[in-house]
Amino acid sequence: MRLGSRAVCWLLMLTIVGLAAPGRLSAQGTAGRRTVAAVADRDVRDWDSQITRMERSDELRVRRTDEDGLVPGRTHERFDQYYDGIRVVGGELVRQLEKGQTLSVFGTVYAGISVDSEPAMRAEDAADIVAELTGVTLPAARVPDLVVLPRDDGGYALTYRARVMTASDLIIYYIDAQTGDVVLQYSDLETTVGTGKGVLDDTKKVSTTLKNGTYIASDKLRPPNINTYDMKGSLTRTNQYLNGQILLGDSDFASDSDDDWTDQAAVDAHAYAGWTYDYYYKRFNRQGLNNRNLAMTSLVHPVKREEWASQPSSVLNLYYLNAFYAGDGVMVYGEGLPPNVTAGGMKWNYFSGALDVVAHELTHGVTDYTSGLIYRNESGALNEAFSDIMGASAEFYYQPLGNGYLKADYLLGEDLTSPLSGFRSMANPQAFGDPDHYSKRYLGSSDNGGVHTNSGIANQAFYLAVEGGTNRTSGLAVTGVGSANRDKIEKVFYRAFTQMLPANATFAIARAATIQAARDLYGTGSDVDRAVTQAWTAVGVN
C-alpha cells in the first residue's frame, strides 16, 4: 500500500503546541512552611538575626560548613531546623558568607510547629514495624531516627524515619512515633543502568530508575530529569497531555520488568535524548534546552501502528510520519508504519530510531530558549537548518563515519527509512528537491514559506564550511576546515544561532553572525573565518 508523497513532504514539520504549563508541583502542603531566598541586603540582615535567634533557642543547628570550591574566600553553612531537640524533616537553611559577612540565605523553615515531642515507642519498636512490613530487619547501626515530619496535608507528626532496601525497592518509611502507623512511605530514587535494543536492533544502555519493582524510563544520572513515556497508542491521552489537561504519572512511564528493554522506540527515544544532552554539554558546555537543565520529556507510541489505515491524513502526517517538539522540553515521536506499508516509496520505522531526528527535535527546544527564530520564511528556514545541523553533528559525535544505518553522514533521518534514504541532504540538498543556493530559494507560502525547503541553503553552507567542495549551483569552491576540525564549525554555528541571531533573522544576518562568531572564536583571517565566509558566498548569501 502506498501513501501519497504529500505525507512525506510534511515530514519533520515542527509543530509547536502552545502548552499551558502543566501543574507539575507535588501536592505538598504549605501551611507553616516559609521559603527563604534572601539576597537583598535588608532580607539578608533580617535572616542573619533570625538565624542567630533560632540558634540560641536551639531551633537551628549547624550541620556542616563547606568552603566554596569556585569562589575563593566564600563559605556555605548548612543549618538543620530542630523542634524540641528533634530534627524537622526538610527544615534547612543555607547561608553564604564572605569574611563573616552574609551574602545570601536560602532554605525552608517551618513555623508554628506543635507536636508532642515525647514518643510513645522506642526506635527499636519502629524497626520492628518496618521489619513486619518489609521482612527486613534493620541492623543496630540503621535504627530509625526520630524526626518531626511536616505532613503533606498540613500539620506535623513525630515519626521515626527508616530507609529500607527490600528485594525490589529502596523505601523510606515514616512511622508515627505515637501510634506506629505509617505516616508516609515512598520509594527513594534508585538509579539503574539497563540495556536494550534500539529500533535498528543495536544494543545500547539506558538510564532507568527502579520504582516499586519496575524499571521505568526515568534518567536520574544526568543533571536534568529525562523521562520517556509510553502513550500506549492513545492519541486522546497524548493530546490531553500536550494541552495540559492531564498530567502523566508513574504508570505512564515506558517501563520494563527486568531492565533488559524490549520497547525499541522507547529505548532510542530515551537513550538519544540523553546523548543529545551530553553532546550539547560536552561540545558547547550547554546545560540542556534552556541551559538550566530543563526536564526533557519524550512521548513514544502516541498512536497504534496497526490503525494507520483508518487515520485521517492529518493524524498520519503528524503522529505516524513525523516527530515534533511540543514546547516545554516535550518531544513526540511518530510511530512509523507497519513493515509491509510504504509511503513515498519507503518503509518508515519508529521516529525515535534516528539520532539526527532526536537531536533535531531537541534543538528546536534550544532555539526556543535562545534566538527564538520565528518559524516562517527565512528565519523559519534558519530554525530548521540549525536543527538539521545539530542533528547531523550529534551523529558525527557518536557514530562512525560512513554510509549505512547508524553511520554519521549528512543525510537527515536515514536511519528511519528503508531503503536507506532519509528525507534531506546537507551535502546535496537538490537530491531531495531542496535548494542549495539562495537564488533557488522557494518563495511560495506553503510549509510556512518553505522552512523545510530553504533550510537546504544554510545546511549546504555548513556542509561546505566543514568538508569543503564546490556548490553545484554557483560552481564556487570552498576550502573547508576538514572533518577533523568539524567541532570548530559546529561551535561557530552554535554560537551564532543561539547567542547572536535575532528572532526574525535573515540568511544575510546568519552569514554575518556566523562570520563574526568565527572571528571571535578563531580570529579574523583564520581558516575557520575563511571557510565560513567562502561557504556562505558559495550558496549565494552575501
Partner 1 sequence: MNNTPVILRPLILAGVLAMCGLASAPANAQTPSVWQGIGFIAVDGGAQVTSSGYTSNLTFPLHGETATGTATSDAVSGAVFTARGGIRIWKNLALGAGVTVFSSTPDVAVEASLPHPFFFNRPREVSGTASGLTRRETMAAVEVSWLVPLSRRMDMSLFAGPAFFNVRQDMVTTVQFTETYPYDTATFAGVESEEVSRSVTGFTVGADVSYLFSKNFGLGGQFRFSRASTTLTPSGGQSTAVDLGGAQVGGGIRIRF
Catalytic machinery residues: 361, 452
Nearer to partner 1 among residue 190 and residue 278 (C-beta): 278
Nearest residue (CB) to partner 1, 76 versus 205: 205
Looking at the Cβ atoms of 179 and 191, the one nearer to partner 1 is: 191
Kindly state the smallest distance separating residue 110's Cβ from Zn ion, in Å. Answer: 47
* Shortest distance, position 384 Cβ to Zn ion, whole Å: 5
Quote the strand ranges of 315-457, DSSP E.
323-325, 330-333, 342-343, 347-348, 411-412, 417-418, 424-425
Window of 77-85, 187-195, 358-366, 373-381 that interacts with partner 1 by CB under 8 A: 187-195
Binding mask 266-305 for partner 1 (x = CB under 8 A): --------xx--x--xx-----------------------
CB of 320 to partner 1, least distance (A): 30
| Separation of alpha carbons 531 and 482, rounded Å | 10
Site for partner 1 in 326-385 (CB under 8 A): none
Q: Given the complex with Zn ion, which of 452 and 488 has the nearer CB atom? A: 452
Q: How far is the CB of 423 from Zn ion (least distance, A)?
A: 11
| Contact predicate 212/169, CB 8 Å | yes
CA 102 to chain centre: 35
- Phi and psi, residue 437, nearest 5°: -150, 145
Contact 286, 220 (CB under 8 A): no
Tell me which amino acid residue 285 is: N
The stretch near Zn ion (CB under 5 A) out of 6-14, 187-195, 474-482, 493-501 is 6-14
DSSP state of 134: H
- When CB distances are held under 5 to 8 angstroms depending on the partner's kind, the choice from Zn ion, partner 1, none that residue 275 binds is partner 1
Question: Is 14 one of the binding residues for Zn ion (CB under 5 A)?
Answer: yes
Residue 387, contacted partner among Zn ion, partner 1, none, CB below 5-8 A by kind: Zn ion
Q: Which does 432 bind (CB under 5 to 8 A by kind): Zn ion, partner 1, none?
A: none
| Alpha-carbon span 424 to 455, nearest angstrom | 10
Nearest Cα neighbor of 326 from 19, 20, 11 is: 19
| Helix pair 486-495, 507-522: axis angle to 10 deg | 120
Note whether 194 binds partner 1 by CB under 8 A. Answer: yes
Q: Looking at residue 498, what DSSP letter applies?
A: I
**Interaction residues for partner 1, span 54-113 (CB under 8 A):** none
Scan residues 218-247 and list those touching partner 1 (CB under 8 A). 221-223
CA pair distance 393, 396, nearest whole angstrom: 5
Contact between 339 and 366 under an 8 Å Cβ cutoff? The reply is no
Q: Which of 75, 102, 178, 195 binds partner 1 (CB under 8 A)?
A: 195
Least separation in angstroms between CB 207 and partner 1: 7
Out of partner 1, Zn ion, none, which partner does residue 323 contact, by CB within 5 to 8 A per kind?
A: none
Binder among 61, 76, 197, 205 for partner 1 (CB under 8 A): 205
Contact 440, 491 (CB under 8 A): no
User: Environment class of residue 479 by beta-carbon count within 10 Å: exposed (0-12), middle (13-18) or buried (19+)?
Assistant: middle
C-alpha cell at 316: 498520519
Nearest distance in Å: CB 300, partner 1: 20
193 touching partner 1, by CB under 8 A: yes
376 binds, among partner 1, Zn ion, none (CB under 5 to 8 A by kind): none
Closest among 405, 370, 376, 408 to 493, alpha carbons compared: 370
Residue from 117, 270, 249, 119 nearest 193 by CA: 270
Residue 4's binding partner among Zn ion, partner 1, none (Cβ under 5 to 8 angstroms by kind) is none
Peptide bond into 144 cis (omega under 30): no
* Between 387 and 514, CB nearer to Zn ion: 387
Q: Residue 10: which residues within 8 A CB-CB, separation 6 or more?
A: 317, 318, 321, 322
HSE (CB half, 13 Å, CA atoms) of 72?
Answer: 0
Please tell me whether residue 387 binds Zn ion under the rule CB under 5 A. yes
Q: Which amino acid is at 32?
A: G
Q: Is 207 in the site for partner 1 (CB under 8 A)?
A: yes
Task: Give dist(CA 311, CA 292) in Å, integer.
Answer: 39
In the complex, what is the shortest distance from the CB of residue 141 to partner 1, in angstroms, rounded to a whole number?
A: 16
Closest CA relative to residue 502, chosen from 390, 383, 408, 399: 383
Q: Least separation, in Å, of the C-beta of 358 and Zn ion?
A: 11
**Residue 14 touches which of partner 1, Zn ion, none (CB < 5 to 8 A by kind)?**
Zn ion
**Considering only 38-46, 72-80, 215-223, 456-464, which stretch makes contact with partner 1 by CB under 8 A?**
215-223
User: What cell was used for 213?
Assistant: 519493582
- The footprint of partner 1 on this chain (CB under 8 A) covers a number of residues equal to 15
Q: How many helices (H) and strands (E) does the chain have?
A: 12, 27
User: CB of residue 278 vs partner 1: minimum separation in angstroms?
Assistant: 6
Residue 214 or 377: the one with the smaller Cβ distance to Zn ion is 377
Q: Which residues bind Zn ion (CB under 5 A)?
A: 12, 14, 387
- Residues at the interface with partner 1 (CB under 8 A): 193-195, 203-205, 207, 221-223, 274-275, 278, 281-282
